[in-house]
Copies of this chain bind each other. A is one copy, B any other.
Amino acid sequence: MAVRGVGIRDVAELAGVSVTTVSHVLNDTEGMRVAPETRARVREAAKTLGYGPNRMAQALRTNRSGLIGLLSEEIATTPHAGRIILGAQNAARAHDLTLVIINTERESSGTSHKDDVQALIDRQVEAVLYATMYHRQVSLPPNLQGIPAVLIDSTDRAGIVPAVVPDEVGGAVAAVTHLVEAGHRRIGFLNNDDDVPATHERLIGFRQVMQQHGLPIDESLIVQAPSETLPGYALAREVLDRPDRPTALFCYNDRMAMGAYRAAAELGLDIPHDLSIVGFDNQELIAANLFPGLTTVALPHYEMGVWAVETLVHLLSGEAEYKLLADRPTRLDCPLVIRGSVAPPRDN
């Protein structure tokens, strides 16, 4: 309700008290006893004047800018960044913190965003969130030392900073379990071929479910290529052209799944009845617009944004136990989003 030009002294005057009292009342200052009647009068006065504190003066005085920085890679190219921002933003607002976002290029080996961190520091942020575009390990810029920080979607090579990442294994488990429970036993896995955590962990999840259900794993059904549509298509063709083709495909991501859809169409395979498909990432634009809608696994971007800010707040208030979080990254659930690409296999 801040009306420009109204200061704490105006409120004090109208309420007939000192500025100290106003400050105490409006901030509910700990241990400051103010008569209830005075309180009311001050509140009343503030309201009628439309008083709102001058954050700059507050900031200067308390040495707390109320700003937290979010360093985000590739904000433009992916909707994922948007959901992280949204989560962080909402959580920040709930704590009366203001989120300042700096976009940055993908880290080109070694540079490590030092300048971007500096830009944030120069703007007096109290802490920084460091979000990468996809789950991986990073080395933190040296100037991030000494400032509370939290990593989103990546882990600190040095293991000093708390981090939050998606539970990749869990997501894969959910996806493959869904397939198995629909009755599938021969399931292909179109995996990424990058050496990133997601590649390995989603595979672990895949194997885990198969073993758990006593299903044989045909290694030739686990294939790898870059995680794009075209390679996904090629991989799908490779696997589906076989006489003993799988009845279901688990795809590393939605783009590869999109390639698989094309392969299925070319082969005259009906999704989901001739072939079930599950993706990963829940990219709305793809998943919701394919025919039929793609059942896929959602990455907890929003939740990671929230978690990161909450953790930062704890860190800022010096709660010791939160430092321990750096020990190992926190893993957040990757829930399955069911659309229409999974059905029981035809002959079972």
Footprint of B on A, CB under 8 Å?
1-2, 4, 52, 54-57, 59-60, 63, 65, 75-79, 81-83, 85-86, 89-90, 93, 98-103, 118-119, 121-124, 146, 228-230, 233, 255, 258, 262, 265, 283-286, 289, 291, 302
Which of B59, B81, B122, B124 makes the CB contact (< 8 A) with A82?
B81
Which of B2, B4, B83, B89 makes the CB contact (< 8 A) with A102?
B89
Chain B residues near A98: list those with CB within 8 A: 100, 123
Q: Which B-chain residue is minimally distant from A283 (CB atoms)? A: B285
Separation of A229 and B59 alpha carbons in the complex (Å): 50
With A55-B124, A82-B79, A255-B289 as given contacts, are A100 and B102 in contact (CB-CB < 8 Å)? no
Q: Smallest Cβ distance from A236 to chain B, in angstroms?
A: 13
Separation of A2 and B83 alpha carbons in the complex (Å): 31
Q: Smallest Cβ distance from A189 to chain B, in angstroms?
A: 20
Chain B residues near A93: list those with CB within 8 A: 102, 119
- Name the 5 nearest CB pairs between A and B, nearest first: A56-B59, A229-B289, A56-B60, A76-B86, A285-B285
Chain B residues near A78: list those with CB within 8 A: 79, 82
16 A-B residue contacts at CB 8 Å?
A2-B122, A55-B123, A56-B63, A59-B59, A75-B89, A76-B82, A76-B85, A76-B86, A85-B103, A86-B103, A89-B103, A98-B123, A100-B100, A265-B265, A285-B285, A286-B286
Separation of A229 and B283 alpha carbons in the complex (Å): 15
Separation of A346 and B100 alpha carbons in the complex (Å): 54
With A103-B86, A262-B291 as given contacts, are A121 and B285 in contact (CB-CB < 8 Å)? no
Q: Smallest Cβ distance from A275 to chain B, in angstroms?
A: 16
Separation of A288 and B196 alpha carbons in the complex (Å): 24
Chain B residues near A284: list those with CB within 8 A: 77
Q: Is the CB of B103 within 8 A of A100?
A: no
State the main secondary structure of chain A at its contact with B.
Answer: helix
Q: Which of A60, A78, A286, A302 has the most CB of B within 10 A?
A: A60
Which of B54, B99, B291 makes the CB contact (< 8 A) with A101?
B99
Separation of A230 and B255 alpha carbons in the complex (Å): 19
Q: Smallest Cβ distance from A63 to chain B, in angstroms?
A: 8
Q: Which of A1, A90, A123, A228 has the most CB of B within 10 A?
A: A123
Q: Which B-chain residue is minimally distant from A288 (CB atoms)? A: B229
Q: Which B-chain residue is minimally distant from A67 (CB atoms)? A: B98
Separation of A257 and B93 alpha carbons in the complex (Å): 39
Chain B residues near A63: list those with CB within 8 A: 56
Q: Is the CB of A118 within 8 A of B1?
A: yes
Q: Which B-chain residue is minimally distant from A228 (CB atoms)? A: B289
Q: Is the CB of A57 within 8 A of B55?
A: no
Separation of A2 and B121 alpha carbons in the complex (Å): 7
Chain B residues near A118: list those with CB within 8 A: 1-2
Q: Smallest Cβ distance from A232 to chain B, in angstroms?
A: 9
Chain B residues near A79: list those with CB within 8 A: 76-79, 82, 285
